[in-house]
Chains A and B, each alone.
Chain A
Amino acid sequence: MTIAFFHASTRELYEFAHGQATGNGSLKRHLENCARCRNEVRALRALRSRVSNIQPSRPREALLERIRDRIANNEPMLLPSADPSPPRFWQTAASIIAIVLISGIAWAFWPEQTAHGSALYGELRFTPNHLVPGQRIAVEYRPGSILSGVQRVVLRARFRTVIDQPYNYATKQTVATHLTPDARGVFRGAFIVPDSAVYAVFAVENEPGTHVDHNNWRLWDLLSDNQSGKPTFEALEQQSNDLYGRSMEEALRVIQKRAALYPELPQSWGPVAGFERFMLGEPHDDSAATSHRARLYKFDNRFRQLRAVPYDEMEGIRSYAIQLSDSAAPRVREIARYWLEREEADTSRTIQARIMRGFAYSDSASANPAKFLPALDSLWRSDGRVLSFLPKNAWVFATRAHDDRAALMWADRYAHLTPGFASYQYGELLKAPSLRDSALVRLRGVLTVLRTRQDSVRPLEVSVDEQARTDAQSASAILKTIGTTLVAHGRIREGLSALDSASSQVWDASLFRQIAEARLAAGDTSGSLPLFAFAAADPVSTPAFSDSVLTRFRGPVARLRWTTLVDSGSREMRKRVLRDAISRAYDSRAKVSDQSGEPHSLSQLATGKVVVFTFFSRYCGISRQQQIPFLDRLSSTLARSGVTLVAISPEPPSHGLSDFLAEKNVRIPVYYDRWREAGRAFSQWGTPEFDIVDSNGQLRFPHTTQAKVLAQAAALVREQLDR
């Protein structure tokens, strides 16, 4: 005889577990005979016990400060006063009927081209909404106003594979498909997922590429899933890699999400620790260090007992330990050493293993470049596919070893991999006399490429026109390099021609001065004067510079004519500089504190003035050498135009920092971004960082450079005066 045996439902067991079941004798009898359901009851009780043990969260003083600040500013905040009404049966039924009716009417009368409301950005949908190599993905796009009225749109994509590295210097863009509208104005199309793609990110644009829907800079993305619908570890890795430099905040979220989805993998946690310290600041790091160390020890205990540990897990534990290695705990350093030894004894060929061995080998080569260069070449030929860092390192080693042939070869490889850096490398090669001609040929090659539309290197968010402006700036820099080299080596006419081309579109005081001097040296007095005037119009030039020019041109130049030329230069500066400005809001409520700990919101520091915010760090070489020693001078130069410089340290105040700043003669007030609020407001992720805000509180020049700050701030002041 067969007896049907049904287990109790979760609801019955839950009610029984918590004493809510009444008079259920049959359930009691069932439990006496069913171990599985008894176990379930025990587990449900344990679940409630764990839930009831969750402790309240610790509130932060900084949060209270922000509350006080918002209250003090009389910020209106209306809290919801009532819960939503629960739907009643007739309401639900009526809603369904209404939806059916409206849908039917809409289907019948939907216009052929639809503006889809007033939203600027559109909606993009994929079916299925995950990546499977070789699979067809159907695409639906409902345009926002940015692309309303177009007949056809282009879906551009950046597909990433498991070997792609952080940032988007080496990744290429491609056209995934063209989308055409159906009768209801919904654009449709499809594409096939390339083999080996684990992550993809998309934007939509019109066919000429002049208008881009980038989903308010967020783009749209797809990840590969495993069989149960969870994004794969590799897909999340590539998602965070793609977000590097685009939004470090989002990258942190992805890294945290990956740790929540893959808590059992040690390689999930090192990036969390590193990123949290970097993004959330030292105080967060202090509070999180204990739990990170506890987790590291557990991973170490668990895996150390195993004879065979996958390479990725070994590297995961080692890199987690390295992230925590500034902790005082000697055990952390011992763990890092132990797992390094095990990695070195390992012979597996995973991508991570190959990359880490490449790094190790590259480190060895650093000590004796001449000896290791041939071996690095062999390594590149055998494993170059996953060693994208190698050409840059090898190029540096070759330069250091004065091996011109190798330097040129590695520069070519690096340029091929990251075309955006090609001009810098070839510019450096110009310093070697034997490579000068080869480098000039290559620089001209880069110019030719820049003058051709290269959609594969155009970021998804960037329109063709914006890219053309960026390319023009790059071309100008290259022409300046070429022209300077030619003039310096006696090819004056050719060099001046290159320098003239370089200066025609950009604003660069040193370039104007350089061309003016070259023209003057060549006897072209009248051609040099307007360029001297352009240079004098730039705020970087001192009154002494004007005086020196007037002295040199004593005869032909009357002071009045000079003043007119400089004024014309000033107008030209405004025109050229503001061509590259944007205008968008930033989180001006973010706070920094002064030396005494007093908090100041960014809006308080930037009321009604043009303000340059700059972030510095004493641990950054460039910041230490090229930024910090000049902060006071920059501040006083800016002050002459009515512009304020706000210098921010991501590091909290300390005696060590004060001593360092005193040693570097920094006397201007320094603000401290202890909680990284200001850093997040500007998406700052490195130093030196410069961001300029105008007198209306709009961010106009994000992530600009020290060389451009004076002219950009002056142009904004001039804009303000001209209003």
Chain B
Amino acid sequence: MNTATTPAEKSDAELIERLKAGDKAAIDPLYWRYAPGLLRIASHLTGSFDDAEDVVQDVFVGLERALRRYTEAGNFERWLRRVTIRVALSRLRLSRARGEVDLPPTLASPLPNDADSLPDRMNIETAIAALPNHLREVFVLRELEDYSHTEIGQMLGIRRGTSEVRFFRAIRLLRAQLKKYL
């Protein structure tokens, strides 16, 4: 149990103003409020909890400066999630450039026969993490984050049609992997 500031005490707008004014302590409540969701999306995008922590770390470290570009016209949480997605995607690009290898595109071996009795979370998250990066990105953004294919295309620098094709390829791979489970 952490002893952080209770998130409900201050509004986003108030905390953002404090942070913009140089009050670094405002990071804490924002962290406890949004880090869980950001870690979730970052870990699914990168396929690694360690990488996700690095992503979230970078987001909060760079938040004060990034807020200079933030206008209150939009929803702060959605903006923050979008920033996190960009950082996670940059990290993935970087790891590809360094020659780090994705897991194989198919997990030929299905999950255990008694997969029904295994925790849901492990099955589905393991299967998502095992998707190739380019399919996982689209799947996570569409299915977990509910972005449209047009928005995903913008984020990934691909066309809408490409996003759709990748999404259904991801669905087919997940179906094959979780065949006995779904």
Contact = CB atoms under 8 A, between A and B. Distances in A.
A54 B114 contact: no
Interface string A422-454: 000000000000000000000000000000000
Contacts of A42: 182
B31 A67 contact: yes
A11 B168 contact: yes
Nearest to B35: A59
A70 B158 contact: no
Contacts of A68: 24, 27-28
B62 A78 contact: yes
Interface stretch (A43-51, A179-187, A407-415, A484-492): A43-51
A61 to B, nearest CB: 5
Interface string B20-51: 00001001100110011101100110000100
Contacts of A262: 109
Contact of B158 (A46, A86, A227, A264): A86
A85 interface: yes
Nearest to B106: A228
Which of B90, B112, B159, B178 is packed against the most chain A CB atoms within 10 Å? Answer: B112
B120 A53 contact: yes
A117 interface: no
Nearest to A228: B108
Contact of B61 (A9, A43, A70): A70
Contact of A72 (B24, B65, B119): B24
B104 interface: yes
Interface string A50-84: 11011111111101101110111001011111011
Contacts of B164: 11
Interface in A566-588: none
Contact of B87 (A14, A80, A295): A80
B95 interface: no
A19 interface: no
B114 A14 contact: no
B172 A83 contact: no
A10 interface: yes
A372 to B, nearest CB: 40
A229 B90 contact: no
A28 interface: no
A298 B157 CA distance: 44
Contacts of A70: 57, 61
Contacts of A84: 155-157
Contacts of A294: 119
A294 B69 CA distance: 47
A115 to B, nearest CB: 19
B87 A229 contact: no
A689 B126 CA distance: 35
Given A57-B49, A87-B157, A230 B106 contact: yes
Contacts of A608: none
A50 B120 contact: yes
A83 B65 CA distance: 18
A559 interface: no
Contacts of A301: 114
A289 B168 CA distance: 36
A56 B112 contact: no
B83 interface: yes
Interface string B142-182: 01100000000111111100001000100110110010001
B31 to A, nearest CB: 5
B117 A298 contact: yes
A496 B90 CA distance: 64
B16 interface: no
Contact of B159 (A14, A79, A86): A86
Contacts of A77: 58, 61-62, 65
A54 B144 contact: yes
Contacts of B130: 260-261
Contact of A47 (B61, B108, B118, B178): B178
A260 B126 contact: yes
A261 B103 contact: yes
A298 B114 contact: yes
Nearest to A56: B36
A517 to B, nearest CB: 54
Contacts of B27: 64, 67-68, 71
B108 A66 contact: no
B2 interface: yes
B124 A229 contact: no
A377 B19 CA distance: 73
A60 B182 contact: no
B134 interface: no
A64 B28 contact: yes
A51 B174 CA distance: 11
Contacts of B120: 50, 53
Contacts of A230: 104, 106-109
Interface string B51-87: 0110011111111111001000000000000010011
Contacts of A493: none
Nearest to B157: A84
Given A47-B175, A71-B27, A77-B65, A54 B40 contact: yes
Most buried by B among A10, A59, A227: A59
A111 interface: no
A414 B87 CA distance: 52
Interface in A195-246: 226-231
Contacts of A226: 108
B66 A81 contact: yes
B106 to A, nearest CB: 6
A222 to B, nearest CB: 11
Contact of A59 (B32, B103, B175): B32
A415 B73 CA distance: 74
B121 A264 contact: no
B58 A79 contact: yes
A56 B40 contact: yes
A79 B111 contact: no
Nearest to A43: B182
Contact of A83 (B60, B66, B86, B109): B86
B155 A63 contact: no
Interface in A1-25: 9-11, 14
B56 A63 contact: yes
A302 interface: yes
B98 to A, nearest CB: 9
A263 interface: yes
Contacts of A263: 111-112, 122, 126
B168 to A, nearest CB: 5
Contact of B174 (A11, A47, A75, A78): A47
A424 B62 CA distance: 54
A291 interface: yes
Contacts of A298: 114, 117-118
Contacts of B174: 47
Contacts of B86: 79-80, 83
B17 interface: no
Interface string B119-137: 1111111101110000000
6 contacts: A54-B144, A59-B36, A61-B2, A79-B62, A294-B119, A298-B117
Interface of A: 9-11, 14, 40, 42-44, 46-48, 50-51, 53-61, 63-64, 66-68, 70-72, 75, 77-81, 83-87, 123, 226-231, 257, 260-264, 291, 294-295, 298, 301-302
Given A83-B154, A261-B130, 17 more contacts: A58-B39, A59-B39, A68-B24, A71-B60, A79-B65, A79-B83, A83-B156, A86-B159, A228-B108, A229-B104, A230-B106, A230-B107, A231-B104, A260-B103, A261-B109, A264-B113, A298-B117
The 6 closest A-B pairs by CB, nearest first: A84-B157, A228-B108, A77-B62, A56-B36, A59-B35, A57-B39
